Structure 1
Amino acid sequence: MKHSVLIATTLLTFGFTQAQDLFTSEIPSVILNNFNLKYPKARDVEWERKGTNYEVEFETNWNKDHEIWYSATGEIVKHKEDISKKELPEKIQNKINIDFKGYYINDVERVVAYNKTHYKMDVNALLKDNWEIVIDQNGEILSKNRN
């Protein structure tokens, strides 16, 4: 019994130290000001602290999801947002049309981290394997995992 309590306590403590939900009043003003200037119409805003970074999840426009990680100094470290397949660069669309002929694209995300952009998406087809792929801004497939 003591062992079970120790494991549960460890898991709870570890979970709380990894990510902490925060109130807006707990966000450094430099981060909050940068966020509010860039996204004044953000809805369903939720903040967390992850290590030394601050993560905000929110929606804009017609339920367009965003996740942004800010450094403690207010710089954007990573920005992940839902986009439509029409917003994919032509180079990326061409790569998918060649490597995944007959597949259709779902659930597209653009991720910008440390000034590099990549695109994560599902490619699906009837009677074939479905894939989750990540492609960089130059059209190179970085990862390909069966769904």
Structure 2
Amino acid sequence: MKNVLTGIALLFITTGIHAQSKTVTDAFAKSFPGATKIKWEKEGADFEVGFTLNGQGMSAVYNGKGDLMEKEVEIKVSELPAGVAAYVKEHYKGAKITDAARITKANGEVNIEAGIKGKDILFTADGKFLKEAKD
């Protein structure tokens, strides 16, 4: 009986996600026509989509209503503000920055992300430390 109830609960959850994701996938298709290598993930109450557009790796986060919450564009590590490399060198001894991105939030705020060993280190657009997050 427990398995039947679990199955029914999963059906309702999946149906709810599908209904929301239709709105979200439509919003994504409108915002990023021509995107390829599309991969969706659930991120809390939101939906994150990783994709490639014009040869550049990107991701976007949408809420369940289809509103774009933030857009992330991969950048070269060499494009990071000087303060980022200095901060990582000082606070993460011997760590190497493996990837980097520019994040633009819905309100226009821009942050920089530097990836090291399973962690994302977030900075302001001019390279001032904000916080560390698990990758």
Query: Above 0.5 in TM-score?
Result: yes
Does the 8 Å CA contact 1:107/1:122 hold for their aligned counterparts?
A: yes
Q: AA paired with 1:69?
A: V
Q: AA paired with 2:7?
A: A
Aligned position for 1:128: none
**In structure 1, distance between residues paired with 2:119 and 2:21:** 29
The yes-or-no answer on 1:122 pairing with 2:113 is no
**In structure 2, distance between residues paired with 1:11 and 1:47:** 19
Pick the aligned partner of 1:133 from 109, 116, 120: 120
Q: Deviations over 1:17-41 (max 9, x none)?
A: 2356549xx726xx644433xxxx5
TM-score (norm 1): 0.59
Alpha-carbon offset, residue 119 of structure 1: 0.9
**In structure 1, distance between residues paired with 2:133 and 2:68:** 27
Alpha-carbon offset, residue 71 of structure 1: 6.7
| RMSD, aligned CA | 4.0
TM-score (norm 2): 0.63
Pick the aligned partner of 2:101 from 98, 101, 109: 109
Q: Deviations over 1:77-118 (max 9, x none)?
A: 211233331222222122112222322111333332233324
Aligned position for 1:27: 26
Unaligned runs of 5+ in 1: 124-130
**In structure 2, distance between residues paired with 1:22 and 1:47:** 12
**In structure 1, distance between residues paired with 2:29 and 2:91:** 42
**In structure 2, distance between residues paired with 1:49 and 1:22:** 13
Aligned position for 1:5: 4
Counterparts of residues 38-57 of structure 1 (less than 5 Å) = 41-45=34-38, 56-57=49-50
Does the 8 Å CA contact 2:51/2:57 hold for their aligned counterparts?
A: yes
SS in 2 for 1:101: coil
Q: AA paired with 1:121?
A: G
Q: Which of the two has higher C-alpha Rg?
A: 1
**Relative contact order higher in (CA < 8 Å, ≥ 6 apart):** 2
Unaligned runs of 5+ in 2: none
